[in-house]
Structure 1
Amino acid sequence: MKKISFLALLLSLSVVLWNCAGKSEEEKAKEEPKNGLEALQKIADEAEKMSKEGPKETVDPKLLKELLPADADGLKRKEASSEKTAAMGFGVSTAKADYSDDNGQSIDVEIVDVAGTGVALMGMAAWSMASVDKETEHGYEKTTEYDGHKAFEKYNSDSKDGEISVLVANRYIVNVRGNGVGIDKIKSVLGDIDLNKLADLK
């Protein structure tokens, strides 16, 4: 049942991502899945490939915590934490911090190490296997690159809520979420995280 539920989750993620995907560049068209089922197969193949490489030890979450910004572009850090969990042979290390002010602005930063575990990685960063480019009168969402890493960005200009997720070294996922702030502020906070140092952690 767990396996069926997981496949159903991946299928749902794939269909959502590919339904909102825009047209890709002509030279990339042949390489990308044509529909949700092909996207699911690509995700499953990648997850299997990662699993065959064998489990890797996640890094000490305290090392991830050290990479969290002291402040978020002027917003004070209210809380920071780190933890490491493991179950059924899979391990995850997480560090996160909350930043806010008295004017309703807040930003959450999370750094996760799934140690290249295919199931966990594809579940948390399924967008890394898709091409998304959607825009409405209220905002946008798109897959992109940030400092050479695969990334997903979305923003609602009405509510001023948004987030940027970055996949680093095929094992670390960096999420920066903002509420009541501009996308430039979110990008500024992401810029304060040393992704090169993160990629070098073992």
Structure 2
Amino acid sequence: MRPNLKSFCTGLLSVTLLMSCGETKEEKKNDDEDESVSAVGAVGALKDIATRAGEMQKNGPVETVNFRSLKELLPADVDGLARKEATGEKNGAAGFTVSTATGNYANDDNSETIEVSLVDGGGSVVMMGLAAWSMIEVDKETKNGYEKTSTMGENKSYEKYDNTDESGEIALLVNKRFIVTVKGKGVSMDKLKEALKAVDLDKLAALK
């Protein structure tokens, strides 16, 4: 049975609204000052997600790669931080499957930590929901940091950084299918970008 795309998109909107309604007053104040694309992007891109979902449904499902193939692309270390753990899994529901591999990196006292995740949603609507930022334009700066979407080569990218605790993330949509996300704390954005460079994006894009 094909998944009900209308129900999925409605559910995505409902989850987003619940996230907003469930905020504390302090969180709401922070959101007003430094609004995040992670919540707003899902709503703003909902129409595009529905359109692309229809196209994906018409073309039929694409089998996701084995998560072990993704794990092989996790670097042994990133810019001097050794890998402490590597995990992988494949999950499915309502006709969609997602393969994920995650590597955790840190220095000796864990004052610098980085997480690298590789996700393959087979180009499904689930993947587009996870990468809603790839369908909108964001360019924002505050006293605490910045948030923006851009491109790296032919791939759409997303960056967010908070100077107060030196935390941030950078994400890349590779070959309109794979999502590479690098998150870190106690590190600079330059270090996060070096971690991203440690992933062989050409090999990732070639996986089938």
TM-score (normalizing by structure 2): 0.81
> What is the letter of the counterpart of residue 140 of structure 1?
Y
> What is the letter of the counterpart of residue 75 of structure 1?
L
1:18 shift after superposition: 10
| Structure 1: unaligned runs, 5 residues or longer | 22-35
1:129 matches 2:135: yes
Matched ranges for 1:10-159 at <5 A: 17=37, 39-101=45-107, 102=109, 104-118=111-125, 120-159=126-165
1:86 shift after superposition: 1.7
1:42 shift after superposition: 2.1
For residues 49 and 110 of structure 2, what CA distance do their matches in structure 1 show?
Answer: 41
Give the secondary structure class of the aligned counterpart of 1:181. coil
Give the percent of matched residue pairs that are identical in Structure 1 and Structure 2: 49
Give the secondary structure class of the aligned counterpart of 2:183. strand
RMSD of equivalent CA atoms = 2.5
> What is the letter of the counterpart of residue 64 of structure 1?
L
Contact 2:16 2:39 in 1 (8 A): no
Over 3 Å counting, the alpha-carbon distance change for 1:69 and 1:147 in structure 2 is farther
Contact 2:90 2:99 in 1 (8 A): yes
Structure 1 residue ranges (4+ consecutive) displaced by more than 2 angstroms after TM superposition: 1-13, 15-21
For residues 12 and 102 of structure 2, what CA distance do their matches in structure 1 show?
Answer: 26
Q: 2:176 is matched with which residue? A: 170
1:82 shift after superposition: 1.2
Contact 1:20 1:134 in 2 (8 A): no
1:185 matches 2:187: no
1:122 shift after superposition: 2.0
> What is the letter of the counterpart of residue 112 of structure 1?
V
Kindly provide the CA deviation profile for residues 66-103 of structure 1, in whole angstroms up to 9, marking residues without a partner as x: 11111011111110011111222111111001001115
Contact 1:73 1:189 in 2 (8 A): yes
| Structure 2: unaligned runs, 5 residues or longer | 1-5, 20-34
For residues 137 and 117 of structure 1, what CA distance do their matches in structure 2 show?
Answer: 37
1:198 matches 2:193: no
> What is the letter of the counterpart of residue 122 of structure 2?
A
Give the aligned length: 185
> What is the letter of the counterpart of residue 58 of structure 1?
T
